[in-house]
Amino acid sequence: MKIRVMLISIAVLILVIIGYFYFFLPVPSFETGSKRLYLKEIQEDNMTIAWFFYSAAYSESPDYIVATKGSAIDTICRANNIADINLEGDSIMIGFYGSPQLYGDPIEIPIRVMGYSVLIDTGYTRDSETAPRKFYQK
C-alpha cells in the first residue's frame, strides 16, 4: 500500500514538473493576421489568393498560399521555395524553385482548390541577380 501511494505521488510530481516547463515554453501564435507579411495577393470575382509569410526572428519562415472564397478558407501550400503565383481563368499557377518542398522535404500540392485547378511550374531558378523579396503588411 505504501509503495502504491509513493508511486502515485511520484507520478503526480512528474506531471507537475512537466506542466511547469510547458507553461514557460514559448508557443508561436498564428491566430492574428497582423504579423503576416504579404508578397502577393490576387483577387478575382469572389476569390482571393494570398501569398504571405509570418514575420519571425529567423529567415527560414515558410511561405503560405491561402485561397479565400466567401467564408471558406483553404491553405493551398506551405513551402520554402515558392517563386510566384498567378490566377489565370480557372487555374491557380504556382511557380517553385525546383520541386515543391518544406525544409527540404517534398510536399504534395492539391490538384483542385475551391473549383480551381492548381498547376505547378518547377522551372524557376535562383541566381545571384535575384532581387530581394518585396513584401507589405495589411
Mean pLDDT of the chain: 83
Could you tell me how far CA 123 lies from the centroid of its own chain?
Answer: 22
Whether pTM exceeds 0.95: no
Question: Could you tell me the CA-to-CA distances from 129 to 66, 74, 82, 132, 135 in Å, in that order?
Answer: 28, 34, 17, 9, 18
Q: Which residue has the cell 473549383?
A: 115
Domain map of the chain by residue range? 33-121
Q: 76 Cβ partners below 8 Å, 6+ apart?
A: 49, 65, 66, 67, 92, 94, 109, 110, 113, 118
The pLDDT tens digits for 84-115 are 999 998 999 999 999 999 999 999 999 999 99
